[in-house]
Amino acid sequence: MLPKNILVPTDLSDGAEAALDYACELATKLDATVHLVHVIAIPSLGVPELGVGITSAVIDQVIAENQTKLDSLVDARRDKTKFGQVLLRTGDARDVIEATTTDVNADLIVMGTHGRRGISRALLGSVAETVVRSAPCPVLTVRTAKDDKTDRDAA
């Protein structure tokens, strides 16, 4: 069964934008709808160990800036494919992506991956890896040529 609802999680990076472009091309060919979600991880109290708090004004500014970027991504592609829900949510990306998959009835998730290895992967984790392991539908990960070159240069 071919997908009719494609969820594209984005962290607004170049790699995520490449995944969105791929999803849009795929959706056009399959007559599917693309749903976009961006997750902002906002700690409720800031970083207490550093004595840093996050004010509601800062949180509001971050949300507004990210919403503008998200809207720009969609506006630039709206004539190429059909978009459904465009969501900006807060929380842990892994949990929000899984919940959103159910909310939009996604048949497929298309997402970028940074291709981190070694210590950076151990420290930062891999949202894509967690989604691949826990998603209720197939997941297609997209790496950019830039990611591949960076991995080769580091080796």
41-51 per-position pLDDT tens digit:
866 545 555 44
The CATH class of the 5-154 domain is alpha beta
Domain ranges in the chain are 5-154
pLDDT at residue number 125: 54
State the pLDDT confidence band at 113, using cuts at 50, 70 and 90: confident
* Least confident residue range of 22-26, 65-69, 94-98, 123-127: 123-127
CA angle, residues 43, 45, 49, in degrees to nearest 5: 100
State the pLDDT confidence band at 77, using cuts at 50, 70 and 90: very high
State the pLDDT confidence band at 119, using cuts at 50, 70 and 90: low
**Comparing 75 with 129, which gets the higher pLDDT?**
75
Helix (H, G, I), strand (E, B) or coil at 45: coil
Tell me which DSSP letter residue 77 carries.
T
Q: Do residues 8 and 137 lie in contact, with contact meaning Cβ atoms separated by under 8 Å?
A: no
